[in-house]
A and B are shown apart, each in its own frame.
Chain A
Amino acid sequence: MTCSLRDSYLDETLVPEEGARFEQHLATCGACEAQLRAWEQAEAALQDWAEERVGRTWRSDESQRQAELILARHRERHGQRRRAVVSLALAAAASFFLALLLFGGDGPERGTWEAEILYREGSSSEISQDILSVLGSGRLVAQLGEDRVGLGDAATVRVLGREHGNVQLRLEQGSIGVEAAKRREDETLVVQAGDFAVRVVGTRFRVSRPADGGLVVAVDEGIVEVSTPGQRWWLERGTTLAVDASGTAATHQREEVDSQLDLLLSPAKQVLPATEPADVVPSSDVAPPLGVATPPEPAPPASDVEAAEPSPLPQAPALEAPTPVAPPQLDLAALRTQLAKGQAPEVVDALEGHLSEDPSSVSGWSLLATARRKAGDPAGAIEAHRQVIQRGSRSQAAKARYEAARLLQRRPGGHEEAVELFEALLEDPGALRGLQPEIRLHLSRSMRAVGRSSEADALLQELIATWPGTAAAEAARGELSTKPL
């Protein structure tokens, strides 16, 4: 019977007990032993062959060219010409504005531009050919062709232009939610808003102009590009960007959908709260200035890597919130604020209570790891990171691996596992692109601790050669020069 486990053994799908049983069997079964040896030889030949059978590498400009060729083929197939993406023109414009661009897919019906009012609530509203406006407190949801626009308190939207699928709106004041239909490639939806340049590619987003200036953009689907001349951010789904009147910007990752957007666009729901949710109020104390958004950030010390949702964008630390809004379930923003105020044990209690009921929140586990670390429970923090590794996306898991490995390095006997975690990160360099030098530096230290000094040296040399001038490379130089011969 044990011979039947042979294939599963090769597939590495046996549970440990079965694996051990098969290995015992292997010592006594010549047939299995011969089969396994034959396969090992075959696999070695195959691997040699595969190593030579490697595709070419495309440089980034070649990939760009390939993308252009692919799009040209696509246009050829669909008989369409595509306009140049206008984002560069937008960024170069003398004045800032907000532009929301959508394209792709089948085009909406043409010529259905009469605003169809789906829902109206509150004191009064103005609706004309060119203007949709809520006067005072109230709400208005209108269908513009295939696109839906929802207006909150005192919001005014002017329709600047519309021609087929091309729409240009201007948000004069207040907040709007937009649910835009897919468009043909050569059609765009553009929204201007105040003094900011934003390009959005997606289907569902909110744009708000706070009364005291600035801008808030919350994205629930697709990607948003926010730009000022010379600067851009890309916001993924679940990201909210807040820029205050002084130009100070902060981004925040949400796990939940943007509740205000939901309210703006859904006719049946209640009126919006008048205040912006606490987690997106920019604070000049903590938010990075506009100018620092796009350059790659120097890697933070591991202990400072925030356990928020991962984002390719500069992460704002937890923001102080004068009036936190309490979502119905886990209010991560409020907990982050609490954590920033030094109430780690309380945050741990709250998160543990919630996660024992509903362990599915990856952001919850991530925040719990940070809270436990701050509460002086590194073992608990590592455990929470393991949950993120198990449940999270690739980038969430990568971040958790890094954090867990750094914590393990400080624990007796933790270097073995730290090496494993760091090595896993090396295998997926795209996941934590900004921390590649640091990963090598820390990995080399753990390798040295477990007696793999020559590999550690090789890593440091690679680090110095690949990322010269970084702090990690400097540290690596020091460690190479001081190591005992």
Chain B
Amino acid sequence: MQAARVLRDISDAGLMAGLAAGDASGLSVLHQRYAKMICSLILRLDPQGSLEQAEDLTQDVFLTVFETADRYREEGKLKSWLCGIAARKVRSARRRTWSRGNLMRSNRSIAPGHSTPYEAGPDQRLGARRQVEQALLSLSDSQREVFVLHTLEGLSGEEIAASLNIKTSAVWVRLHRARKTMTAALQESATGGGPR
């Protein structure tokens, strides 16, 4: 147990260097540090996804981390790198779901048995949640990624650009459009024009 205790004190960069050298012993520590953040991000990037799906994708993220650790560059924050991987996982999962024809994104409502990480709350709360989800779903995938990473995960424009491999200027453009769309969608739903 002593080794594990010491391992927990190793920096992200040190653990990543170990993974890059083929030493998997740091993987569980990285998982412990970041799995909840990644799982939350996935739930927010895929507003109608279930907790079970998010957990599966979280595991996929860490598999990619292990297999591509040698591509990680220390100058970037690990969190940004992980967010980029998670965003790509969500996007590709959504593509798979689309291709199976299972995702009826527009006008889809949350069924009573819908699997979410939280218990169904009072109607009013559920309504507010649904409004936000619908507003988020009104964004394009690329807008939603930038929007969630900036507004909810607190990444800077530069970090988002690095994690999604896009230009910083593109981050700001997408963010502005997303913010406008979100504001309008939430206002509309609040005044009764939202989806039913």
Contacts and interface: CB of A to CB of B under 8 A. Distances in A.
Contacts of A35: 183
Given A54-B117, A56-B36, A394 B21 contact: no
B22 A182 contact: yes
Interface string A1-40: 0000001001101000000000000000000000100110
B175 A63 contact: no
Given A55-B39, A56-B39, A85 B22 contact: no
B187 A222 contact: no
A50 B152 CA distance: 7
B11 interface: yes
Contact of B151 (A43, A63, A293): A43
B18 A223 contact: yes
A294 B27 contact: no
Nearest to B22: A104
B182 A42 contact: yes
A25 B40 CA distance: 38
Contact of B187 (A42, A70, A183, A223): A42
Interface in B67-103: 67, 70, 77
14 contacts: A50-B44, A60-B32, A63-B28, A70-B27, A71-B24, A74-B67, A185-B22, A222-B18, A232-B6, A237-B17, A293-B6, A295-B2, A312-B14, A313-B9
A422 interface: no
Contacts of B169: none
Given A64-B28, A67-B31, A294-B5, A11 B175 contact: yes
A201 B33 contact: no
Given A56-B36, A105-B22, A223-B21, A49 B132 contact: yes
A103 interface: yes
A55 B183 contact: no
Given A38-B186, A222-B21, A312-B11, 12 more contacts: A41-B186, A43-B151, A45-B186, A46-B182, A54-B117, A54-B118, A55-B54, A63-B35, A85-B25, A102-B22, A104-B23, A234-B3
A8 B193 CA distance: 29
Given A54-B43, A55-B51, A56-B117, A221 B131 contact: no
Interface in A201-224: 201-203, 221-223
A67 B25 CA distance: 8
A394 B131 CA distance: 38
B129 interface: yes
A60 B23 contact: no
Q: Say what secondary structure dominates the interface of chain B.
A: helix
B3 A225 contact: yes
B31 A63 contact: yes
A55 B22 contact: no
Closest CB pairs A-B (n = 4): A104-B22, A55-B39, A312-B9, A201-B23
B179 A10 contact: yes
B5 to A, nearest CB: 7
> Which of B31, B40, B117 has most A Cβ within 10 Å?
B31
Interface in A41-75: 41-43, 45-50, 52-58, 60, 63-64, 66-67, 69-71, 73-74
A48 to B, nearest CB: 7
Contact of A56 (B31, B55, B183): B55
Contact of A433 (B9, B15, B24): B9
B21 A201 contact: yes
Interface of A: 7, 10-11, 13, 35, 38-39, 41-43, 45-50, 52-58, 60, 63-64, 66-67, 69-71, 73-74, 85, 87, 102-105, 182-183, 185, 201-203, 221-223, 225, 227, 230-234, 236-237, 293-296, 310, 312-313, 393-395, 430, 433-434
Contact of B24 (A11, A63, A67, A293): A67
B17 A202 contact: yes
Q: Say what secondary structure dominates the interface of chain A.
A: mixed
B7 A49 contact: no
B13 interface: yes
Interface in B138-175: 150-152, 157, 172, 175
B27 A39 contact: no
Contacts of A38: 183, 186-187
Contacts of B137: none
Contacts of B179: 7, 10, 39
Given A45-B128, A63-B32, A232 B66 contact: no
B2 to A, nearest CB: 4
A66 B59 CA distance: 7
Contacts of A203: 21
Contacts of B14: 223, 234, 236-237, 312
Nearest to B131: A45
> Which of A57, A104, A237 has most B Cβ within 10 Å?
A104
Contacts of A39: 179, 183
Given A10-B179, A294-B2, A53 B118 contact: yes
Contact of B117 (A55, A58, A102): A55
